[in-house]
Structure 1
Amino acid sequence: MLYAGLLTAVIILSGCEMNWNTLLTSGEQQATQAVKVEMDKLNQALLTATSQGDKAAIERLLAEGADIDATDSRGRTSAMIAVHSAQLDIFNLLVERGANINIRDNNLDNPLLFASAAGQLAFVKASIAAGADTTITNRFGGTALIPAADRGHVEIVKELLTTSDVNIDHVNRLGWTALLEAVILGDGGKKHQEIVKLLIEHKANVNLADHDGVTPLGHAKRHGYKEMIEMLTQAGGK
């Protein structure tokens, strides 16, 4: 009888312990959820403050624990929003506070990639100065140099070639380098001529062909771009 009573007591106590642990777990879950809700509010407020250019609010929210690299529904961090809204001072502030400028959004753009394609030289300079990773690629598999070259952004091409470690001969998923895109997607005008000149001066491989085996010179001839044909021929193009 004594043994049976002790066994019953152990079972009852064990049951109480299990219920107590369950209550603790439930309480912890509620506390965790409450913290998450508050963090989400802080992060959303930070993203809003960034879009509005409210420096004081940004500083306050970061001090309160907002995640500087939190993203919006488009996958944009505050740093990326600053680039989209052309707020260089806000971008620099976020960089100073430790923002990760290499994070890509849902469109596979980050500050350096977007700014290079959009012709935003100041943001390109700021991103390079902040140590942006030039090996990160966009949705076409290209580095920042490639869209800058095909869109005729001479100063950005020059900045990337002279102040960063970008790979001048990187090949994107289309099979094109910056030099190929400058010829294929360019208009053959002064800006694209200058870009071809810059790429040649910085030792781009003038004979690196596309997936079809066509070289930059071959494409220049197809388009009838006389100035480019001359430059590429003098550089050893075939």
Structure 2
Amino acid sequence: MPTIHQQLLNAAVEGDLALVEKLTAQGADINYTDAYGNCAVFSAAWEGNIEALDCYYRLGAVLDLEDTNLLCNSAFNGQKESVRWLLEKGANANFSFAGTGENALHYTICKTSEMEERVEIVRLLIDAGIDVNKRTIKGAVTLCFMRDAFLKAETPLHRAAAYANEAIIKMLIDAGADKSAKDANGDSAISWGSWYLRESHILKLLLYGNVPAIR
């Protein structure tokens, strides 16, 4: 028989808010976290369930989760409404993971799915004052990619050059992203874009200094 705390987490995962409220009234911990780092508020943020976020927050859910940062993980999953909700509740836009140096922009710009949502997430993060030139930690293992992936001291613009659309790249540059910034291998964002065979109109956005013109 699962504990009352595990029952609450199970109810949260299933989106049964009435049961979550009932179990909380009976003494269940809204901040209970299982051995895998799952908790009610993480589930809601990951799924973009704003009704659940409001409910759990009212019941006392803690939003400042270091190892499973809600803002970064919501951004990773393309949940723009969760990102908006967290920022409105005072989430630190400039949080970065101590072990990797990645911030919410890095987490947003590592997938090509939900691109319209990712454009809005980048806009929200920039408006909140996030560091558009934040570097990752060279050699650290990242959870943003599936297997055997190691960071290269890249900035969000490096990732955008590989994975993002024109709108995101323009927003980063307009917000002060350094097109000439080099990763640990000495490569710039246009290098990343070139490796990923991006179209010429994308590469032209990334030109800087003495890089040859693109026709």
> Aligned letter for 1:216?
A
TM-score (norm 2): 0.76
Q: 2:177 aligns with which of 188, 199, 204?
A: 204
Gaps (5+ residues) in structure 2? 138-150
1 CA distance for matches of 2:210 and 2:92?
31
1 CA distance for matches of 2:131 and 2:97?
11
Q: State the match for 2:130 in structure 1.
A: 166
CA contact (8 A) 1:206 1:215 kept: yes
> Aligned letter for 1:200?
I
Aligned length in residues: 189
CA RMSD of aligned residues (A): 2.5
- Going by fraction, where is helix more abundant, 1 or 2? 1
CA contact (8 A) 1:95 1:130 kept: no
For residues 97 and 209 of structure 1, do their structure 2 counterparts lie closer, same or farther at Cα, with a shift above 3 Å needed? same
2 CA distance for matches of 1:48 and 1:224?
43
Matched, 1:181 2:159: yes
Deviations 1:130-175 (A, max 9, x none): 222331328743111113123242121112112x232211111321
Task: From the CA coordinates, give the structure whose radius of gyration is larger.
Answer: 1
Gaps (5+ residues) in structure 1? 1-39
CA contact (8 A) 2:32 2:40 kept: yes
Q: Percent identity?
A: 25
- The Cα shift of 1:65 comes to 3.0
Q: State the match for 2:8 in structure 1.
A: 46
Q: 1:141 aligns with which of 101, 108, 115?
A: 101
TM-score (norm 1): 0.69
1 CA distance for matches of 2:53 and 2:104?
18
* SS class of match (2:109): helix
For residues 218 and 237 of structure 1, do their structure 2 counterparts lie closer, same or farther at Cα, with a shift above 3 Å needed? farther
- The Cα shift of 1:236 comes to 5.7
Q: State the match for 2:63 in structure 1.
A: 101
